[in-house]
Structures are given as structure tokens and as C-alpha cells.
Amino acid sequence: MTDVFEIIVEPNTRRRRGRAPLSEKKRAAALFRVWHAVREMIDEAQSLGDGELVHFLAVSQLLVEERVTMLTSGVPAFATVDTSLPN
């Protein structure tokens, strides 16, 4: 016979203090630090020769860049680009 394990997850009843939202400049600065960390991870993945990880991290880097652009300029990154036609 096989044993069946049951995992019970109870909600955390402890309440945490709500953090004040960051200003736009602080959010952009935090994303800038994230961008640099992702860039370092891409360099490490390239040195390991893991192309799939490099691709995943490059997509992540583009998403961070898009978010920073939106926060700093106030305009969504692809608002001015004609995206109606495929490549």
C-alpha cells in the first residue's frame, strides 16, 4: 500500500504593518538596482553556457526596462509604437 501525505496550510494570523508606498523616484531607483542584478545574472548564465537561462533573464530585463520607462516618462513603453502589424 502507498502512504498518502496530507499537507495542511494554515493562514498566518499575524498581521504585518502596511508599508507606505514608495515614491515614483524610489520605485525607479529600486528597479534600476534590479536591472543591474539581472544584468549580472545574465553575465553569469552566459559564462555557464546556459542559453535558456540567458533568454529568460533577457526577457526579465526587458520587462524591468519597460517598467522603468513607464515610471520615469509617464508614457507606456510601447504607446508610440505601431503594434498592429506583426514582425
- Give SS3 for 36: helix
Q: Are 60 and 38 in contact (CB under 8 A)?
A: yes
**Could you identify the residue written with the cell 538596482?**
33
Global pTM reads 0.61
Each residue's pLDDT tens digit in the chain (87 positions)? 567 777 777 776 666 667 788 887 888 788 889 999 999 999 999 999 999 999 999 999 999 888 888 777 766 666 666 767 775
- Confidence at residue 51, expressed as pLDDT on a 0 to 100 scale: 94
CA-angle at 65, arms to 55 and 63, nearest 5°: 50
